[in-house]
């Protein structure tokens, strides 16, 4: 999808992030800038430890950069209180972790309902964002899990769990999807299926930032960002 001129779903300007442990300091991000339009897929590639997860956490507002700024659909995500960041995240950003956004004691349908309820509360408090138009059942249908809605996460296969995680990330119709190694544990057929789903989302206008080691994921990128030691490098 081509975005109107000047429209940006995700923008980051000159991001820096360092971690200190005792005497040791790691510069995880060294001046990263990027911009992603609606419907565009940016894939972040690079060796282990190059800063991919750190970058995605800063974009999603789960972590604060030490320098620079992050903007989601024109609203500043960085350098504001956690409650405001989580409200912005609830209304505009879906986050997909490799293993981690499903609560084990809830069924898949209950996981989705919980995320929707939290989204509604935070939107009301922050007065931001439109209510989702898709129902939890539409979302489960879209990822091919309508018949597994009553299952608990432990009862799902790896591929089903990845798709359930995607359903949770999409529960509030986010304008922006941030996914860290979404296909890391999947066989190539299941990976292709998940990538096809992401392709549909992109065509519907969702902007995406995806960190991945997978060449198949990199091939779906509109834009690639290669990181090495926290800096952008040529491929």
Ligand X SMILES: Nc1ncnc2c1ncn2[C@@H]1O[C@H](COP(=O)(O)OP(=O)(O)OP(=O)(O)O)[C@@H](O)[C@H]1O
Q: Which residues bind ligand X (CB under 6 A)?
A: 19, 21, 26, 28, 46, 48-54
In the three-class reduction of DSSP (H, G, I as helix; E, B as strand; rest coil), residue 6 is classed as coil
Q: Tell me if 36 sits within 8 A of 207, measured CB to CB.
A: yes
Residue number, 43 or 167, with CB nearest to ligand X: 43
- Minimum gap (Å) between residue 17 Cβ and ligand X: 8
Count of residues that interact with Mg ion, criterion CB under 5 A: 2
Closest separation in Å from C-beta 111 to Mg ion: 23
DSSP 151: -
* 31 interacts with, out of ligand X, Mg ion, none, CB within 5 to 8 A per kind: none
| Residue 70 CB, nearest approach to ligand X (Å) | 15
Minimum Å gap between C-beta 8 and ligand X is 23
98 touching Mg ion, by CB under 5 A: no
What is the pattern of x (binds Mg ion, CB under 5 A) and - over residues 46-85?
------xx--------------------------------
Q: 158-169 and 188-203 are packed helices; what angle lies between their axes, rounded to 10 degrees? A: 20
Q: Is 4 exposed, middle or buried (0-12, 13-18, 19+ CB in 10 A)?
A: exposed
Sheet arrangement for strand 223-228: 93-96, 176-180, 207-211, 41-45, 223-228, 231-233
């Amino acid at each position: 999808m081509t975005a109107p001129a000047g429209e940006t779903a995700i923008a980051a300007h000159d991001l820096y992030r360092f971690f200190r442990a005792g005497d040791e300091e790691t510069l995880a991000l060294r001046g990263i800038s990027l911009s992603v339009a609606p419907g565009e897929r940016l894939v972040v590639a690079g060796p282990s430890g190059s800063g991919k997860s750190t970058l995605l956490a800063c974009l999603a507002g789960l972590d604060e950069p030490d320098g620079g700024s992050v903007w989601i659909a024109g609203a500043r995500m960085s350098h504001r209180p956690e409650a405001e960041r989580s409200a912005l995240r609830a209304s505009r950003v879906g986050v997909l972790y490799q293993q981690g956004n499903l609560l084990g004691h809830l069924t898949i349908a209950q996981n989705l309902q919980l995320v929707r309820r939290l989204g509604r509360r935070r939107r009301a408090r922050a007065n931001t964002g439109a209510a989702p138009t898709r129902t939890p059942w539409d979302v489960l249908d879209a990822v091919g899990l309508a018949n597994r809605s009553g299952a608990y996460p432990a009862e799902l296969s790896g591929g089903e769990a990845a798709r359930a995680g995607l359903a949770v990330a999409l529960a509030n119709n986010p304008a922006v999807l941030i996914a860290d190694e979404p296909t890391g544990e999947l066989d190539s057929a299941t990976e292709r299926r998940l990538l096809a789903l992401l392709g549909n989302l992109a065509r519907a206008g969702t902007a995406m930032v995806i960190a991945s080691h997978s060449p198949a994921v990199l091939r779906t990128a509109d834009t690639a960002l290669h990181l090495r030691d926290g800096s952008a490098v040529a491929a």
